Structure 1
Amino acid sequence: MKNLIRLGFVLFSTAIFAQSGHIMQSAGSVNMSMGGAATAQPLDINGALHWNPAAISVFDGKIINFDIGVFSSSPELSASLPAGAMWPADAFGPGSPTSPAVSGITKDDRPVSPMPALAFLYGKEGSKHTFGFSAFGISGFGVTFPEETNLPMDANGNPNPNWDPNNSNPINYPQSLGGFGHIESDYMLFQIGLAWAYQITDELSIGIQPNINYAALELAPNPTANPNASGYPVSDKASAIGYGAQFGVFYSSPVGLKLGASYKTQQKFEDLEFTNTHLDNSTSINTFNMDYPSILSFGIGYSTGDFDLALDYRFVDYENTDGFEAKGWTQTGSVQGFGWKNINILSAGLQYKGIKKLPLRVGYTYSSNPIEDELAFFSIPATAVTKNGFQFGLSYPFNDNFKLNGVFHYATSGDKTEGEILSPQNIQNNPPYGAITGSKVGYEMTTNMVMLGVSYQFTK
């Protein structure tokens, strides 16, 4: 079973990067163009299967959707140290100078990433039962920050006369100089869902969707592992299987008003087991558990004439989720968890159908920031958090069976996430996280994506 899930993961979820915490705001072109709002306004099967399995009851026949997007992000990691933080006066003998203030920015150099989604629905006209299948990437993060080359000294400790402290990022210094060196992370969560909806009345439906998940995480360096004398190791790609479910209810009134609610349970995972290689070529093994948080969604929709409106609210419970609940350092200097707080997500979308064969959609997504300022340091590998997302999409039906969908997405992180640099060696001086007084570490980003999808409805 694990090999089968891994195969599906490779085929349909090559790379996933989320925006709301580490959660994908939508699934497919149509749902993304509505800002991810679909709990009470199922315009396509992807959105319904992603956010409210009860809403698939509005569809009849056999429908298959496939979407593929090209995603790019531009995270920037900045850091600074106050004067004297690198080495104090007289560190190299009487009369030696105090180190100057140091600051720099490192830009992510990760290439563009594909983002696929696959969904299938079966419903028979007149039947109260509707069934659906989905294969979505629902979560992910990843960064590639290269090692700093503008260094104060070489590997032998000789001062660099050309060092520019105003353009030098101390976070990306080699570990031998107190930084992390090259920082890279790659996390993906692929979910397969099997949905069933039952139409209690013409207006009211309920739904359930059991899920099986596959997650993989790779970290360089790996802060969840114990460091040795050479520093933190680089991990291999560890994987885990997880399980969960989603429940929903959907109401559609005769006057166009629609209401929906759903609850996605916490997706519980096995431990990720990392095989680590340290800088001195020694090896070690450590485990880390990272579940997917529960999500409570409420939605309202309204359809009249040429307009479809949708508004969703979501509550994401990070504070009771393994991997995100814990925070701070262990006694051996490894990181216990991200320490994220719960977040609120608001999604809104509008579709205009007044142009023949060319429905137009606009969407907006707002997400609060799960990262506390004082804990910003721990989330350097997971900077893919945006505050405001904007989407524009359209569709073109070639005939009664075949339709082409498209969307353009742009998002910004809004305010910069920023806190102090933390060190387990400094806890005695500044508990509980060992903040280096006067230092700063922060990140901000924008994301862009173009996605195209095809929807095919089989002849009844």
Structure 2
Amino acid sequence: MQFDKARLVLRSAAVASALGLLAVPAQATEGYFALGFGPVQRGQGGAGVAAEGSNAMASTINPAAVAGMGREMSLGLQLFMPYRGYNASGTGFVAPGSLRSGHNGFAVPNFAYNMPLANGAVLNFAAYGNGGMNTSYPLVLNSSPGCVAAAPPGMNYGAFCGGQAGVDLNQLFLSFTYAQKVGNVSFGIAPTIAGQAFKAWGLGAFTGLSASPSNLTNNGYSYSLGYGLRGGIQVEVSPVLSVGVAAQTKMKMSSFDKYAGLFAGGGSFDIPASATIGLAYKATPSVTLMADVQRIFYSGVPAVSNPFPNGANPLGGANGPGFGWDDVNVFKLGAVWKASDKMTWRVGYAHSSNPIGPEDVTLNILAPGVVTNHFSLGGTYQMTKRDSVDFSVVYVPPVSVTGQEITPSGPTPGSSVTIDMHQFSASVGWTRKF
């Protein structure tokens, strides 16, 4: 019996990991970080760093959250639908007109398994997509004065006056958590392995700005591996109030060699550090309220935070240009109502600051992560004593940012570039307690 359980867990982990490598998270929410890593977290607006874990995926928001949990397995799948594009006028470096990115639907899986130990601690394994960015701009007919040099009127052009253009960044985390509860304090530590896949195409207009033009665009996927550490603590201040803190170090990643002429530092693209603090309050025996504050340190990754252009530094140089993203602050509110033994409901709201300013819209046509407000609803239905189904939906209203076209020689007088995005997602998951 134990052998069958172990075989089921290993097989599920292998499937989830393989699916994760194929997943395309595409412009998650807080910049390119995910709102949550399973339907439970997403249903409550990503909040819960101070709350007891509802299932094994709770280790992804705070490794300490699974300290008091038993043996269980969680599987989930999110259908993520981002809608993004841009509108430009008076431009020459950027193709004028209105273009919408294709590929608006992505499947993002998650998996976690929680195993109690003889000393009262637990081990937890989780595989999940942390975030990513994706755009895919089609060819359109050039009927305006812009892009004449690259595509005369009557011919096709792309977003940067070349062919079809876009980027695709996928991230997968494999996290191994040790957690334990001692008195009213729970703690957890989670060594984490990260994998990334990236490709870019249609960026020939940037060739003259690159330190390595042959490693700038149209090179297919390049892969990166790295590692970091996650950790957290929860303290029960009273029977109804808990405080939680969780943090993630910067994940040190190997370089994208095929794009050493695009990302600062010869293809370096580390995963930013983040930190979260929060409260969980049991307003009644059946209602829990949560509030979290998170900060994501995009400034620690030059390829993400350096401005475009960045003086005379070339793309791919030691201090080369990046996307110009600022650090992000995220405020999350969530509520959980256990309506009956069979049904639990969740609602949430999250607001994040916008990492992209008007001065950075040009390059961020490729990564328009500008959304700020997130509204969520979800629940859990207890099918049997051991099996439950989780679900959630998230709506992210449209946000746009407008600025001048910025070229290597400076702003284009009279130009205007507007990038925009809105999102919708639906998630479902299954939890089995052993």
TM-score range, shorter chain: 0.7 to 0.9
Counterpart of 2:347 in structure 1 is: 362
Q: Is 1:116–2:133 an aligned residue pair?
A: no
Q: Is 1:211–2:172 an aligned residue pair?
A: no
8 Å contact from structure 1 (residues 73, 447) kept in 2 = yes
Q: Is 1:132–2:140 an aligned residue pair?
A: no
Question: Pick from 346, 357, 362: which aligns with 1:372?
Answer: 357
Map 1:75-90; keep pairs closer than 5 Å.
75-81=84-90
Counterpart of 1:269 in structure 2 is: 253
Map 1:301-312; keep pairs closer than 5 Å.
301-303=280-282, 304-312=284-292
Q: Using the alignment, how far apart are the partners of 1:64 and 1:237 within structure 2?
A: 32
Q: Using the alignment, how far apart are the partners of 1:72 and 1:355 within structure 2?
A: 32
Inter-CA distance 159–403: structure 2 relative to 1 (3 Å threshold) = closer
Counterpart of 1:325 in structure 2 is: 305
8 Å contact from structure 2 (residues 67, 181) kept in 1 = yes
Counterpart of 2:20 in structure 1 is: 12
Q: Using the alignment, how far apart are the partners of 1:73 and 1:392 within structure 2?
A: 18
Counterpart of 1:297 in structure 2 is: 276
Aligned-partner residue type, residue 142 of structure 2: N
Q: Using the alignment, how far apart are the partners of 1:145 and 1:342 within structure 2?
A: 27
Inter-CA distance 41–368: structure 2 relative to 1 (3 Å threshold) = same
Aligned-partner residue type, residue 349 of structure 1: G
Q: Using the alignment, how far apart are the partners of 2:209 and 2:278 within structure 1?
A: 50
Moved more, 446-455 or 355-364: 355-364
SS in 2 for 1:243: strand
8 Å contact from structure 1 (residues 315, 345) kept in 2 = yes
SS in 2 for 1:274: helix
| Distance apart, 1:349 and its partner CA | 0.8
Inter-CA distance 307–327: structure 2 relative to 1 (3 Å threshold) = same
Inter-CA distance 156–287: structure 2 relative to 1 (3 Å threshold) = closer
Counterpart of 1:453 in structure 2 is: 429
Counterpart of 1:89 in structure 2 is: none
Inter-CA distance 76–222: structure 2 relative to 1 (3 Å threshold) = closer
Q: Using the alignment, how far apart are the partners of 1:103 and 1:236 within structure 2?
A: 27
Aligned-partner residue type, residue 302 of structure 1: Y
* 1:74-113 deviation line (CA, Å, top 9, x unaligned): 112111117xx79xxxxxxxxxxxxxxx952111221411
SS in 2 for 1:374: helix
SS in 2 for 1:54: helix
| Distance apart, 1:271 and its partner CA | 0.7
Q: Using the alignment, how far apart are the partners of 1:362 and 1:418 within structure 2?
A: 32
Counterpart of 1:93 in structure 2 is: none
Q: Is 1:199–2:198 an aligned residue pair?
A: no
| Distance apart, 1:129 and its partner CA | 1.0
Inter-CA distance 148–9: structure 2 relative to 1 (3 Å threshold) = farther
When Rg is computed on C-alpha atoms for both structures, the one with the higher figure is 1
| Distance apart, 1:395 and its partner CA | 1.2
Q: Is 1:64–2:73 an aligned residue pair?
A: yes
Aligned-partner residue type, residue 397 of structure 2: T
* 1:361-399 deviation line (CA, Å, top 9, x unaligned): 111111101112211212221113320011111111111
8 Å contact from structure 1 (residues 57, 199) kept in 2 = yes
Inter-CA distance 397–158: structure 2 relative to 1 (3 Å threshold) = closer
Map 1:1-80; keep pairs closer than 5 Å.
10-13=18-21, 14-17=23-26, 18-60=28-70, 62-80=71-89
Aligned-partner residue type, residue 168 of structure 2: D
Aligned-partner residue type, residue 240 of structure 1: S
Counterpart of 2:239 in structure 1 is: 255
8 Å contact from structure 1 (residues 219, 235) kept in 2 = yes
8 Å contact from structure 1 (residues 26, 47) kept in 2 = no
8 Å contact from structure 2 (residues 150, 157) kept in 1 = no
Inter-CA distance 147–6: structure 2 relative to 1 (3 Å threshold) = farther
Aligned-partner residue type, residue 408 of structure 1: V
| Distance apart, 1:123 and its partner CA | 2.0
Q: Using the alignment, how far apart are the partners of 2:17 and 2:361 within structure 1?
A: 30
Map 1:126-165; keep pairs closer than 5 Å.
127-152=119-144, 160=153
Q: Is 1:104–2:84 an aligned residue pair?
A: no
Q: Is 1:179–2:146 an aligned residue pair?
A: no
| Distance apart, 1:338 and its partner CA | 1.5
8 Å contact from structure 1 (residues 224, 288) kept in 2 = no
SS in 1 for 2:41: helix
Q: Using the alignment, how far apart are the partners of 1:159 and 1:180 within structure 2?
A: 11
TM-score computed with the length of structure 2 as normaliser: 0.85
SS in 2 for 1:39: coil
SS in 1 for 2:343: coil
| Distance apart, 1:189 and its partner CA | 0.8
RMSD: 3.1
Inter-CA distance 234–53: structure 2 relative to 1 (3 Å threshold) = same
| Distance apart, 1:200 and its partner CA | 2.5
8 Å contact from structure 1 (residues 38, 47) kept in 2 = no
Inter-CA distance 454–228: structure 2 relative to 1 (3 Å threshold) = same
Counterpart of 1:388 in structure 2 is: 373
> In the comparison of the two structures, how many residue pairs are matched?
406
Q: Using the alignment, how far apart are the partners of 1:224 and 1:243 within structure 2?
A: 34
Counterpart of 1:95 in structure 2 is: none
* 1:248-280 deviation line (CA, Å, top 9, x unaligned): 111124522111001110111111111799xxx
TM-score computed with the length of structure 1 as normaliser: 0.80
8 Å contact from structure 2 (residues 96, 144) kept in 1 = no
8 Å contact from structure 2 (residues 68, 180) kept in 1 = no
Gaps of 5+ in 1: 87-101, 164-171, 278-285, 427-433
